[in-house]
Structure 1
Amino acid sequence: MILLIDSGNSRLKVGWLDVRAPDPREPGAVAFDNLDPNALGDWLGTLARKPVLALGVNVAGAERGDGIRTALARHGCPVHWITSRLQLLGLHNRYTQSAQLGADRLVSLLGVRSRLPQAHPPFVLASFGTATTIDTVGPDDVFIGGLILPGPALMRSSLARGTANLPLADGPVADFPVDTHQAIASGIAAAQAGAVVRQWLAACQRYGRSTDIYVAGGGWPEVQQETERLLAQAGGLAGTPPVPAYLDRPVLDGLALLAAQPDPQSL
């Protein structure tokens, strides 16, 4: 068994891969959310089968990474962190400094790619977490770049912290909000959805064809309706818009693909 670890800014997700399974690329269910390294070690102690390796991405800083490494070492399980580079299993990274791209972004794009046939349309992956990232991959398996902006919850909390009179608001989305809660909720949804539509239109123009959209992350339900509405409006400009397909764990899917390679620790 190989553990799959997605250590993000606000959550720690863990899955596993049984390399003896008929399709070893299909990961097991996510073990935990909101998990701290000590709890990870305690959970490992309850398993009948001990993992031989952990493969992961960590964008939560060195302290979190060290804590995970220590917890795994208690059970004789080494961890190998995947980092961004120019190419990963045929996915090409066009960042000016390839190592600067968050490893979670590159691996999640690989997770989307693992679900697609060899010949596939361009696609956009929008992940709504602490930060929202909106990344584009062409039919040639080249990641051409993407956006980073505050996620929905961070937008809301930053307004409450950074202003004297704005609340930590929640409310319905409206075209023309008539109270502060509506105005904040609508502004957040508009910003998130507008960024997705912007990147979708840019990809359609670049490749001369419609582009698929995949979405992930806990913030998606908050902005789903507005995103789908704006995409439908934009469809007249760039062909029939796709319905965004939700992916529960693209990072773990990408890690599973890497873990199924003959020597994952060399990646």
Structure 2
Amino acid sequence: MSMWLFDLGNTRLKFARSCADGSLADAGAVAHEDGEAWLRALPRGDAACIASVAADERRVALLDALCARFGRLHLVRTQSRCGGLRIAYENPRHLGVDRFLALLSALDAGDVLLVGIGTALTIDLLDAGGWHHGGRIAPSPMLMRQALHARAPVLPESGGAYAEFAGDTGHALASGCEGAALALIERSLERAQGLLGAAPALWLHGGGAMALRDRLPPHRHVPDAVLRGLARWQAQAFA
């Protein structure tokens, strides 16, 4: 059976074929801008598993397009328990499915602090026993820049280079917004070490991760964390 996995985020759709050994193949990504061009890039197969945090309009458009290409569709929801994973949220519907699947991808990897940097910046702490200790949500550096520009158009929406103390408005904006994200990640690492008694591994995923990597402590870059979690969810659901 040909099984495909789809991760519909706020700006991009990522997809891959799930292999019998748990690996991913034929991965692709496309921005879902206005119009329907992004839907024409979709593959075909027997079954599809979909995780979505996008707006209802985008999610419905994707599901409609997949109905014509796949015999079965499975829309994944956050679960309070899945395999050895136990999430901290009392109401699992309040934890984004992307965070849930990223946590699932890190199961059995020991103590891990997962940081997703997309439209939002999300941080989740997972211990070696599969317990989720909760997390944080903040605007990503990109969203901070967009929000500032929307309220004060004189402040550029992009551009500038990071510096500890910048000598230009563009550089100061880049430094402040990226610095806020770096500080939140570093504080979370410090607090996680105090809670667990040892420093967790740091995992990064999301489209905005690359801009911060050079200024973070040693870490693992897992750009397909959500798809990896989808593959693990699918293997358990269809075992």
Q: How big is each residue's C-alpha offset from its partner over 1:147-204, in whole Å with a ceiling of 9 and x where there is no partner?
A: 1111121111111111153222422222222211121111012111011111111110
Q: Give yes or no for the alignment of 1:137 onto 2:159.
A: no
Aligned to 1:251: 226
Structure 1 167/65 Cα, relative in aligned 2: closer, same or farther at 3 Å?
A: closer
8 A Cα contact 2:48 2:70, kept in partner = no
Write the distance in 1 (CA, Å) between the matches of 2:114 and 2:84: 18
Q: Where does structure 1 lack aligned partners over 5 or more consecutive residues?
A: 229-242
**Higher percent of residues as strand:** 2
Write the distance in 1 (CA, Å) between the matches of 2:24 and 2:91: 31
Q: Give yes or no for the alignment of 1:5 onto 2:6.
A: yes
Give the Å deviation of 1:2: 0.7
Q: Across the two proteins, how many residue pairs are aligned to each other? A: 237
Q: Where does structure 2 lack aligned partners over 5 or more consecutive residues?
A: none
8 A Cα contact 2:11 2:32, kept in partner = no
Stretch deviating more after TM superposition (92-101 or 68-77) = 68-77
SS of residue paired to 1:187: helix
Aligned counterpart for 1:86 among listed residues 71, 80, 90 = 80
8 A Cα contact 1:84 1:102, kept in partner = yes
8 A Cα contact 1:41 1:75, kept in partner = no
8 A Cα contact 2:207 2:223, kept in partner = no
Q: Give yes or no for the alignment of 1:216 onto 2:216.
A: no
Write the distance in 2 (CA, Å) between the matches of 1:28 and 1:65: 23
Write the distance in 1 (CA, Å) between the matches of 2:41 and 2:209: 29
SS of residue paired to 2:77: coil
8 A Cα contact 1:40 1:71, kept in partner = no
Aligned to 1:63: 57
Q: How big is each residue's C-alpha offset from its partner over 1:225-257, in whole Å with a ceiling of 9 and x where there is no partner?
A: 3333xxxxxxxxxxxxxx111012000001111
Q: TM-score, normalised by structure 2?
A: 0.91
Give the Å deviation of 1:32: 2.6
- Which of the pair has more CA radius of gyration? 1
Structure 1 136/189 Cα, relative in aligned 2: closer, same or farther at 3 Å?
A: same
Aligned to 2:93: 99
Partner AA of 2:77 in structure 1 = T
Structure 1 61/35 Cα, relative in aligned 2: closer, same or farther at 3 Å?
A: closer
Aligned counterpart for 1:205 among listed residues 194, 200, 210 = 194
Structure 1 35/10 Cα, relative in aligned 2: closer, same or farther at 3 Å?
A: closer
Partner AA of 1:105 in structure 2 = R
Stretch deviating more after TM superposition (54-63 or 195-204) = 54-63
SS of residue paired to 2:104: helix
| TM-align CA RMSD | 2.0
Give the Å deviation of 1:75: 2.6
Q: How big is each residue's C-alpha offset from its partner over 1:208-240, in whole Å with a ceiling of 9 and x where there is no partner?
A: 112110001221222223333xxxxxxxxxxxx
Percentage identity across aligned positions? 29
